[in-house]
Structure 1
Amino acid sequence: MNCIRWIFLVLSILQISCRGYQKELSENEAYYNVDIDTLGNRGVGSISSYFKSVKPIILETSEKNLLKSIDAIQVTNDCIFILDRGYKKLYCFNKAGRFIRQIGHLGNGPGEFSNISDFTLDENNKLIFILDNYISKIHVYKFTGEHISSINIHNTIDGVLGHIQYSNNQLFTDYQPNKISTKRAAPLLIKIDINSGKLLDEYLSSEIYNLGFQLITFKNNSYFYSKNSHSPYYAPIYSNTVFSIENNISPYFQIKSNRLLKKDDLETFDLSFPGIIADINNLNKIKSILNFLEISDYIICEYSDGYKLNTIVFSKTNKSANLYEGLFDDYVYKVFEGSIPHYMACSDKKGMYAYMNINDVPLFIDYYKSGKIKFEFNQFEIDMIENLSEDSNPLLFYYELRE
């Protein structure tokens, strides 16, 4: 009997010691890495250098689908899903931009939610998972909009969740403990049972992989990347590493530089105070990976350098990288000066989707009328553009990769 108890005790200790977030991964384990300090800055790059064409998608605008903000986009074979955190709505459009339906509604009844902080898709089973972080629930809908179930996130998860990612019949979320301690590291990533809402595992110590920073923060898109691909990734806000979460948590892509933000740079900062992000952003350091797309042989990674946004285009085959101060859409605009930024959203096997800021719609209308647009629209597109107003939904763009 004592022997059995001893074996059980040893197994319990092993289980605790092997929890994912306690294990420090080697900095040299990333599958791909780029040393930024060895790259020459090529200035502003051209979209046409990597993509052979652009297809504008003019979103239908009505009282039923008016957007206040575009916070995330995910695309399937037939649909474009757009999250608007401002209006707390998730819309479904077809690939031509025609409005199809709204997914779920605000409320307290069955199938209703109090907030949408993020969503993720299970394309094989045509399911949508909406994270309602106000009441710690995950609402499940069919692509048709039918509500299937609501999963209560188990109360053993004592903290705040911000973003969500489906992968291989599992759900991952980022995590912030309710009581932030400067003495104890917390996991950055947790895995939740897709049926019960129970905590299955924890990964990535905030102390090791996020310079001790534990707060949930929001930005355009998410900290999960290539969200509608079959190979999702995750990058903490103050990490130089993108982690694969497809089969296990492992370093996939890493940027290196002598100017990376380090833990010593934050010694005088109160990392439990939400407003500290503005102070960290003032540091003239390479701080955050802000976007990450994988398209066929290419990886496109955007990162913050001081107040600048730089772009790396990396070839997996050649193990070579180019560094740009952003990419200019030379298919749509005649010149770079004054051109409207297009923001990368998501990718598929053949290309990537981008979107225009809602506040730039009036400027686009003015450019079109004054002949500053280079792209030749077809008659259907011309009719739609000429009906645009300052309150219209913004345009999306699909770029097809060169072969």
Structure 2
Amino acid sequence: MKRKGIIREFATSYVSQVNVISFIYSDKTIQKMKIVSLFCSIILVAVSCNKLEKKHIAISSEYQNIKVNLENDSIIKFSDIIKSSFFLKLETKNDALIGNIDKLVFDSGKIFIADKDIAEAIFIYSDSGKFLKKIDGKGQAPGEFLEIRDFTLDTVNKYLYVLDLQGRKVNVYNYEGEFLRSNPMPFLFSAFAYINSNIFAMSTATAYNKQNPKINNHYLVTAELSGKIVSAEFPFNNKERDFTYFNAAPLRTFGSKVLFYPRYSNTIYEVGNNSTKLLYSLDFNGKGIPSEERETLNDVNFLKLQDSYSYFSGDYADLDRFAYFIVNTPKGNRKLFFSKKSKKTLITSRYLISDPMHNFITTPIATKGGDTLVTFAKSMEVLNLKALAVGKDTVVANRLANNLSLNSNPILFFYNLKEF
């Protein structure tokens, strides 16, 4: 997987019989719709298996239209927005070495971590950081996989679903990491999230699903693993396959919510069994990529547009009382904190560090509880902090670096936000 700046490019091809299938993220958004017209209209989208039923894309009762005023970029004192913070060291063992954290989910006192490309494994830890299990069987035997493309949890029945795109199957495990069964992929998708009642939200990227015209050229599908289609939404045209930039996680789960981000649309949707609702829209007040440019995005003009316009690249966290977004501007990234209660926003590229722990508020990988952001840092970053710490900061830095080596597993950081 390549990286282009802060955006990951995904254009892996697989040969199946005589077809070369390319997976490249794309979307078809509602760029020309104004918020007013959104409130006055409902988009009806075809769904189901034999006869498509109607599914609504409407406005969520929790909808937030967030004004992104980049002129208000200010220095934030972290103690003004952070109520408390703590860290957790993940146990390091010879058979449990995590190279990177691509995805992390908490449930039932356990931490599920995917390292897709280095360890090529899913690790299960207790919520105290004790190593419990590693799922890393490479191969084509039952319970094995050729790659880990994504994973999701059924938190009711306590199932772990692992997407093996190259192997064209979904492996199912219990929370102890024991293999239960495999399901063949009913069609091509590259990311998924369990909703409920055996229904999943699936991001197809721009995969070719010509064998199933009801979902072909649709970016988002909700379906069962049996192949029963509930809905197909966000259609795209073939030309959009020329655009190969995307966010690595178009589907994210926060608590009971499954959220979907159509790339570079400045919008986030909540996906349910029977409805998809607009949850967030970011208003750049004329500083964002114009809608007419979005309709013809390709790799060449997107690189040029980044030099002149701001945009939302899809890294965010949804909490009970807050939301947190990474915004891209021609002058670099900005962090945007939003209070759902006060409707206030705080935008910054610079921090007034009042505690060494605050150095690690970066792109969120998860949330925990109601209002706690979760990030991570590799052991080298923590050891570097210790080397640079002076004065009273050395106390916290030494505590962070205690018993760490360059081979230690990543450290998790937890930040509980407070009202502003």
* TM-score calculated relative to the size of structure 1: 0.77
What per-residue deviation string (whole Å, max 9, x for no partner) do you get for residues 79-126 of structure 1?
111110113211111222221111352221111111111111111221
Residue 5 of structure 2: aligned partner: none
Q: Does 1:206 align with 2:269?
A: no
Question: What residue number does 1:343 align with?
Answer: 363
**How far off is 1:193 after superposition?**
0.6
Q: Secondary structure at the match of 2:386?
A: helix
**What is the identity, as a one-letter code, of the residue corresponding to 2:292?**
D
Q: For residue 113 of structure 1, give the secondary structure of its aligned residue in structure 2.
A: coil
Quickly say closer, same or farther: Cα 1:82–1:47, change in 2 above 3 A: farther
**Within 5 Å, which residues of 2 pair with 1:131-150?**
131-150=163-182
Local SS of the residue matching 1:342:
coil
Compare 130-139 and 304-313 and name the one that shifted more: 304-313
Note the C-alpha offset of 1:342: 3.3
1-structure distance, mates of 2:327, 2:136: 34
Separation of aligned partners in 1, 2:104 and 2:135: 14
Contact 2:310 2:327 in 1 (8 A): yes
Instruction: Determine the structure 1 residue equivalent to 2:116.
Output: 85
Distance in 2 between the 1:213 and 1:223 partners?
16
Query: Structure 2: any 5+ residue segments left out of the alignment?
Result: 1-45
Partner of 2:417: 401
CA distance in 2, matches of 1:323, 1:283: 20
Alpha-carbon RMSD across the aligned residues, in angstroms, is: 3.7
Percentage of matched positions with identical amino acids: 20
Match in the other structure for 2:17: none
The structure 1 residue matched to 2:76, chosen from 19, 41, 45, is 45
2:365 aligned counterpart, secondary structure = strand
- 2:339 maps to 315
CA shift at 1:150, angstroms?
Answer: 1.1
Return closer, same or farther for 1:284/1:62 CA change in 2, 3 Å cut-off.
farther
For 1:374, the equivalent position in structure 2 comes to 393
Do the aligned partners of residues 300 and 367 (structure 1) sit closer, same or farther apart at CA in structure 2, a change above 3 Å counting? closer
Which residue in 1 is equivalent to 2:202? 173
- Paired with 1:224 and 1:375, the residues of 2 have a C-alpha distance of 39
Corresponding residue number in structure 2 for 1:7:
none
- CA apart distance, 1:28: 11
Corresponding residue SS for 1:362: helix
1:125 aligns with 2:157: yes
CA deviation string 1:62-90 (max 9, x = no partner) = 22111221111111241111110113211
The residue that corresponds to 2:22 in the other structure is none
Consecutive unaligned residues in structure 1, runs of 5 or more? 1-10
CA deviation after TM superposition for structure 1 residue 165, in Å: 0.6
CA distance in 2, matches of 1:318, 1:346: 23
1:350: how far off? 3.2
Matched, 1:224 2:251: yes
C-alpha distance in structure 2 between counterparts of 1:121 and 1:279, whole Å = 36
Greater CA drift, 48-57 or 304-313: 304-313
3-state SS of the aligned residue for 2:257? coil
1:362 aligns with 2:380: yes
- Partners in 2 of 1:392 and 1:288 — Cα distance? 33
Supply the AA of the counterpart residue of 2:293.
D
Distance, in Å, in 2 between the alignment partners of 1:132 and 1:311 is 34
Q: Matched residues in 2 for 1:163 and 1:215: separation?
A: 18
For residues 12-31 of structure 1, the aligned pairs below 5 Å read: 31=63
Q: Counterparts of 1:246 and 1:26 in 2: how far apart (Å)? A: 12
What residue number does 1:57 align with?
88
One-letter code aligned to 1:374: D
- Pair 1:186 & 2:210 matched: no
Deviations 1:7-61 (A, max 9, x none): xxxx99xx978665xx8x6899982101224x64233434432221111111122
Asked if 1:389 corresponds to 2:405, the answer is yes
Q: Which has the higher strand share?
A: 2
Residues of 1 paired with 2:258 and 2:102: CA distance? Answer: 18
Where 2:125 maps in the other structure, the secondary structure is strand
Shift of 1:141: 0.9
Counterpart residue type for residue 326 of structure 2: E
Q: For 2:393, what is the secondary structure of its paired residue?
A: coil
Change (3 A) 1:138 1:153: same
Would you say the 8 A contact 2:322–2:371 is kept in 1?
Answer: no
Q: Does the residue aligned with 1:364 lie in a helix, a strand or coil?
A: helix
- Structure 1 match to 2:308: 284
